[in-house]
Amino acid sequence: MKRFFCLFFVFCLFAVSIPVSAQNRQLSSSSGAANGLRRQALVVNIESRVLEDNKKIVWNEVNRKVSIPGVPIGIQLAGSNVVVATQFTPYIRRDGNVLVAQGQIWIADPNTGVTYYTSIQTIPLEFDVPIYFYPLGSSQDLSPSIEIIITVNRYNEANASEEGTVSPGNDR
């Protein structure tokens, strides 16, 4: 009988130790996943500006946002007769990084009413190389024109301290 209790006691200790060690492994792997996200985090700099005929900057705003690949970053610009809503989604891939740019534009014209345009583009992405995006098109006939400059960098501690809106302003 003593042998039975000893075996039962050893079996219970063994059974209790299995879930505890499995939980420890799960916790260590989830903290590894958090570290993996930290390594994959990106800093996206977005400079939005309105340009006049002679490329003079009439309005300028700079934003810096931290994200991870696959998560869209959106901005919205509103004027007296135009609303521009854009989303930029960086994807980090083995065969080449890309930035997916989606734009929606509403233009109010007193003669024709409200016109809606939408676009989506996949743009090759290199870190620290600016990408120019023209939600109203890059036509030289448009005045004023809207220009959005996106620069994507890998996250590091120096970039983290600069997160947020940097400086909206006029005539840069």
Record the tokens describing residue 9, joined without a space: 């006691």
Domain for residue 172, yes or no?
no
The verdict on 110 and 84 lying in the same domain is yes
The verdict on 85 and 56 lying in the same domain is yes
76 has pLDDT over 50:
yes
Domain for residue 79, yes or no?
yes
Q: Which residues contact 95 (CB under 8 A, 6 or more apart)?
A: none
The verdict on 62 and 78 lying in the same domain is yes
Q: Coil, helix or strand for 8?
A: helix
The verdict on 124 and 46 lying in the same domain is yes
Long-range CB pairs of 158-162, under 8 A, 24+ apart, other chains included? 159/43, 159/64, 159/66, 160/43, 160/66, 162/64
Q: Which of 2-16, 56-70, 130-144 has the lowest mean pLDDT?
A: 2-16
Domain that holds residue 97: 42-165
40 has pLDDT over 60:
yes
The residue written with tokens 């960086």 in the block is 90
Domain for residue 171, yes or no?
no
What pLDDT is attached to residue 57? 87
50 has pLDDT over 80:
yes
The verdict on 19 and 65 lying in the same domain is no
**Count of the separate structural domains present in the chain:** 2
Q: Which residues pair with 49 in a beta bridge?
A: 60, 147
**For residues 135 and 19, which has the higher predicted lDDT (pLDDT)?**
135
The verdict on 29 and 93 lying in the same domain is no
Chain Cα centroid distance, residue 53: 31
Is the pTM value of this prediction over 0.85?
no
What pLDDT is attached to residue 81? 87
Residue 68 near residue 41 (C-beta atoms within 8 A): yes
Other CB atoms within a 10 A radius of the CB of residue 80 amount to: 5
The verdict on 18 and 53 lying in the same domain is no
